[in-house]
Amino acid sequence: MNYHLLKALILAATITTYGLGQSASHAPNDSVVSTWKTAGMFNGRFWKTLNADQKAMFLFGYSNGVEAVTIATSTSFDNYKETNSRFWARALTVAEVQSALDTFYAVPENGPIALARAVYVISQRSEGKDEAELQKIVTDLRARATKN
């Protein structure tokens, strides 16, 4: 996985969605907010604070960020398709990705896993990757997330 590209995608999504879920009447304390990121990336704990509209907006921004960065860094159409499919479930709608993320983060152990990494798992699942292999990836992501 190209981590420089992943960081660029996270930056694009973060810029697009900056401030979602924040309001003066519902300002969580710093100790809660500090749990919303893993290695600087929004995670499942953050995801669970969003309402359905905010989740959809986040995913629209994220998918647009994936698209923009993929176009900017791809050297050919085949490279574009391959790279794009690693970071976005091209066969799924935003609503379907949202539902899949809700299901993924319903498992408490997945809470610290970064959203970008969860979207990667969903993308790979939508392309038919072996479920046992996906479970190994999720187990590894859990272990890495708890170390950060």
| Amino acid identity, position 38 | T
Q: Which of 2-11, 98-107, 119-128 has the lowest mean pLDDT?
A: 2-11
DSSP states of 35-46 as a string?
A: GGEETTEEBHHH
pLDDT value, residue 32: 74
pLDDT value, residue 81: 85
User: From CA 58, how far away is CA 14, in angstroms rounded?
Assistant: 8
In this structure, is residue 21 part of a structural domain? no
In this structure, is residue 24 part of a structural domain? no
In this structure, is residue 27 part of a structural domain? no
- pTM of structure: 0.76
In this structure, is residue 132 part of a structural domain? yes
Domains contained in the chain, number: 1
In this structure, is residue 125 part of a structural domain? yes
| Amino acid identity, position 146 | T
In this structure, is residue 55 part of a structural domain? yes
* pLDDT tens per residue, range 24-50: 445 566 777 888 999 889 999 999 999
In this structure, is residue 75 part of a structural domain? yes
In this structure, is residue 10 part of a structural domain? yes
Range of the structural domain that residue 49 is part of: 3-15+33-147
